[in-house]
Structure 1
Amino acid sequence: MIQPRKRRSINQVKEEISVQVLRERLPEQWVIHDYGADYGIDCVIELFDFVEGDATVAETLGENIFVQLKGSSSISYGTRRAYHRGNVAKGPLAESREQYDDIPVAKFQLEMSEILTVQAMGVAVPVLLVLVDTITREAYFICLNDYIDKVIIPEDPMYCEKGHKTINIPLANKISLHEDHLVPLRAYGKRSKMYGAFGTFRYQHDEIRRAAGRMLVAENMPRENVIAMIKNFASVSLRLDIWKGHEFWKPMAWSHADLSDILENIQSGFATENFDGLLEYCDVHVWRRLANLSNMYEELVREWFMPTSLAVLCSYPSPPPIEVPAGAGTAESNAI
């Protein structure tokens, strides 16, 4: 009996093409780490930036994106009808059937076990589903953590009883070397750092309010100690590795300027001469704005790049000219 030679399945070919396409569409200094055995995560993208003034050496940013990488030669393209709705972070889904956006999407069925694995990881660790069309060699992404909370759960509360879910990936979520297409990846890379910063900002705000006598349990501190505390808070916050890479999100730039202004006023002696004004400014303006970043992140940022009307309005720098590939279906409702 003649023994068969080594063989490759078509799925192995598609997997190799998917990795090649993803590699081609990421900056050369970024690294793709194989995650090993497939337990729902296929690879990890580690973000690097070139050392300032030297484009021959890159250093890690300490930022990672987990990826479920899927390749297909028969992707179903179509449109998803996204009705205007209320804030799903505050309550049950409430839609307006008179207002909607038809969003060009690529559709992919994901096993429920993979969805539940991502959900168990929490929202601070970004997991992207990256879908590669092995025919056109285009790659599209969707953040599964956010998709679960902002799309699946509001629209299908009994989703856990299903064997799989169809994930709708906006075609505007294309991965390429164009800087606009790298913006979301850079933002996802910073996600864990952002959640750490949110806790820091809320703690600092509470302590400033406590020093101002605005907490249930107040703390009588000498003025010089309060000023020293505020100076330390501002310095600690400015050292957080969250400010660079968020230039596209204006609240970050505003808060960075506020913190720099606080340090300048303290170092110039102006804060000592205007202590009450400093304390008021820090409480009701600077740190209230910093503490509110977490609220905006939950309500707005986590809905960026979703197949929803709010995402259409606030995710992209300009309305992207998206064409649905030939053979795509017609618009359909949110129900899947």
Structure 2
Amino acid sequence: MSDRAKRRAPQHLIDERGIALLKRLLPENWVVREYRPDYGLDFAVEVFEDASDQYPQTLGEHFFIQLKSTESPKVGKLNLHRRGNVEKGREQLDDEPSMSIDVYSLSLEISELVTVERMGVGLPVLLVIADLSRDKCVFVCLNDYVDKILIPRFEDYRDANSRTIHLPASNDISTTVGQVALRWYAKRSKLFSAFQRFTYQYSELNWEKGGDWRSLAEHFAQKIVRYDFWDDVEMCPIIGHYRDGLRRFIETGQPGLLERSIPLVDVKTFEGELDDHLRQVDVFLLWQGLSVLPKNYEDVWREWFLPTDLGQAMSAPPEER
């Protein structure tokens, strides 16, 4: 008869240390909820306001984490090559690398990647490696990795048992850059909803161009000015640019974008039929710009923090570029 009781496997202890490290490095006022049973998602994270407030409020922003803890991660160099827009065709890489970055490498089962792909891209799933030897956690957005790297790179990325995922070493959640990245990902579903409304409003304004377009624009402005992300997007200045135009439109009747793009134009002093037309152009420039934000998001912003030439050129810390 065996007198041996149940034992704890070494990986269980490593996993517990990784969980503790992750929670220690995330902002203390954020809420980390463990998912059980686990089908590829380990944690759901809810983002709250700055901890300087005694009673921080939830921002209604969330993302998922798939955590892999290790004492001996694989870290090495990865050559990156310039490439075309992978939304318009298969990946075509330049022959010569444009840069080299330090990356963590991890093999993920195809079932894990397919699960993330099925979720779509609206709510980010971050793969996080807890590097216990260096006391750091690094991340990459799996939804974007599948969509922007695996699908355009392979005929069918699912025809293997697993795929190697590269996580830029600069994607460290304990750094300022890392914290900004997590906040940016958490806003994704909120931004996607706003983008849908922006394109709808611009289309409807164009239908009303020959009628009472100003009343419609004023109504639309009051709807979208309520979004709470306007003052929390320092990581994306172009959104702040249109926020300022939106607020000027509400306050003065003109967003002032035309005079900023053509300095000699002063829409505030216009009189007559031509002047009315220029005032209309000024307002429509605001909604045209808002409606282009989804294109920017798809073409550029979803590659931020990925191990691609564009992703690193646009989002990596200066010393890593």
Give the aligned residue type for 2:27: P
Deviation at 1:243, TM superposition (A): 1.6
Give the aligned residue type for 2:236: W
How many residue pairs get aligned? The number is 306
Contact 1:50/1:57 (CA < 8 Å) preserved in 2?
Answer: no
User: Is residue 2:33 matched to residue 1:36?
Assistant: no
CA distance in 2, matches of 1:7, 1:228: 71
TM-score (norm 1): 0.86
**Structure 2 SS opposite 1:95:** coil
Deviation at 1:133, TM superposition (A): 1.4
Show the 5 A alignment for 1:105-120.
Answer: 105-120=103-118
Deviation at 1:234, TM superposition (A): 1.2
- Distance change >3 Å, CA 271–CA 37, structure 1 → 2: farther
User: Is residue 2:187 matched to residue 1:186?
Assistant: no
User: Is residue 2:298 matched to residue 1:298?
Assistant: yes
Comparing 271-280 with 60-69, which one deviates more in the overlay?
A: 271-280
Show the 5 A alignment for 1:131-142.
Answer: 131-142=129-140
2:199 match: 202
Deviation at 1:82, TM superposition (A): 1.1
**Structure 2 SS opposite 1:45:** strand
Deviation at 1:271, TM superposition (A): 11
Comparing 5-14 with 200-209, which one deviates more in the overlay?
A: 5-14
**Structure 2 SS opposite 1:98:** coil
**Structure 2 SS opposite 1:77:** strand
Show the 5 A alignment for 1:149-228.
Answer: 149-176=147-174, 178-213=175-210, 221=211, 223=212, 226-228=213-215
CA deviation map 1:211-256 (0-9, x unaligned): 115xxxxxxx4x3xx3222112112111113223211211111110
**Structure 2 SS opposite 1:65:** strand
CA deviation map 1:113-163 (0-9, x unaligned): 000000000011100000111222211000001101111112112211111
**Structure 2 SS opposite 1:139:** strand
- Distance change >3 Å, CA 21–CA 9, structure 1 → 2: same
2:61 match: 63
Q: 4+ residue runs of structure 1 moved beyond 4 angstroms?
A: 270-275
1:235 match: 222
**Structure 2 SS opposite 1:97:** coil
Deviation at 1:19, TM superposition (A): 0.8
1:260 match: 247
**Structure 2 SS opposite 1:105:** strand
Contact 1:146/1:303 (CA < 8 Å) preserved in 2?
Answer: yes
Comparing 297-306 with 242-251, which one deviates more in the overlay?
A: 242-251
Gaps of 5+ in 2: 255-267
**Structure 1 SS opposite 2:235:** coil
CA distance in 1, matches of 2:156, 2:44: 30
